[in-house]
Amino acid sequence: MLKSQKYRIARPMRWAGRGIGTIGSAFFAFMLVGSAIDEGVGSITIAGATLALLGAVALAGGVLSWWKYVPAGALLILTSIGLGIHIGFFAGHSHVFAWTIIGLPFLVAGILIISSGRLLR
């Protein structure tokens, strides 16, 4: 494949991954902050601490996606995996549906960012 063709394919992939990752991480951060305001700080549970850690990793991946592609994609994929594990342990019903809504955008963004970085290499 010619270099110009690779660039034409990789550029929209990179922008889509950046957009999905940034919007997803911002939504996740707003959701966590809103939940903390609504419920109050109180005692910190394992589920809450895990979500706070995953929110920080997601936010770092979303911000980092604008400069470093491979680490940002890895962080977004790790966030998706972590949310899948968290949902499996702490969610009530419909684990796949819950992960599809919350975790799948991070997986898609991570794969798009890493794939575009590999195409440009």
Q: Hey, is 72 helix, strand or coil?
A: helix
Number of structural domains found in the chain = 1
Residue whose pair of structure tokens reads 């794939």 in the numeric block = 115
Contact (Cβ atoms closer than 8 angstroms) between residue 74 and residue 110: yes
pLDDT tens, residue by residue, 49-58: 787 788 888 8
Q: Which domain holds residue 39?
A: 12-120
Q: What's the predicted TM-score (pTM) here?
A: 0.81
User: Which positions ≥6 away from 83 have C-beta within 8 Å?
Assistant: 54, 99, 102, 103, 106
Task: Assess if residue 3 is contained within a domain.
Answer: no
Distance CA 74, CA 85 (A): 16
Residue 20 belongs to a domain: yes
3-state class (DSSP) for residue 89: helix
**pLDDT tens digits for 17-44?**
888 888 888 888 888 777 777 777 677 7
